[in-house]
Amino acid sequence: MPLWKQDTSLARLDAWRQGTLLETLDIRVTEVGDDYLRGTLPVDARTRQPYGLLHGGASVALAETLGSLGAMLTLDAEREVAVGLDINANHVRAVRDGIVTGTARPLHLGRGTQVWEIRIEDERGRLVSIARLTLAVVPREAIAARA
C-alpha cells in the first residue's frame, strides 16, 4: 500500500524544481514507488570537486532532496511540513562522470519525526554514498509564522 498522501506525479514533482537548487544541479525525481522515491544527479562541472570527483556535498544535496520530498509527500500538506534536523552520509566510492541515482526509503514515519535512508549508486549499480536523514514534522503555521 502506498505511503503517499499527495499527488506524486513526476510532472508535479518536476515543476517544483524551478528556481531551486534542484534546477541548478539538475536533480530530477525519476520514479515513485509505493514506498520509495528515486532520482538522479549528473556528475559534471556543476557537481565535481576540484580533483574531478563527485563532490560529497552534491551527493548530500541529492540525498536530502529525495528524503525531504518523500517526507513531505507522506504528510497532509495543509497542516504540516517536514524540515531537516540532521543528515549523515558516508561516501564509499568515487565517481568521475555519468549519472548517480539515489533511492530514498523511510525507516521511521512518526508523528513528530521521520527518518529516511538514501542509497546513491553509480550507473553500474555500485554503492557510491549512503545517507540517513532525520526530519521534524511541524505544523505548517509554525513555518509561516517564522517566514
Whole-number Å distance between alpha carbons of 15 and 43: 22
Active site residue 78: no
Contacts of 27 (CB under 8 A, 6+ apart): 17, 21, 39, 40, 41, 61, 62, 65
Whole-number Å distance between alpha carbons of 147 and 144: 5
Phi, psi of 33 (to 5 degrees): -100, -175
Name the active-site residue from 23, 64, 78, 121: 64
Q: 140 near 75, Cβ under 8 Å?
A: no
Catalytic positions: 64
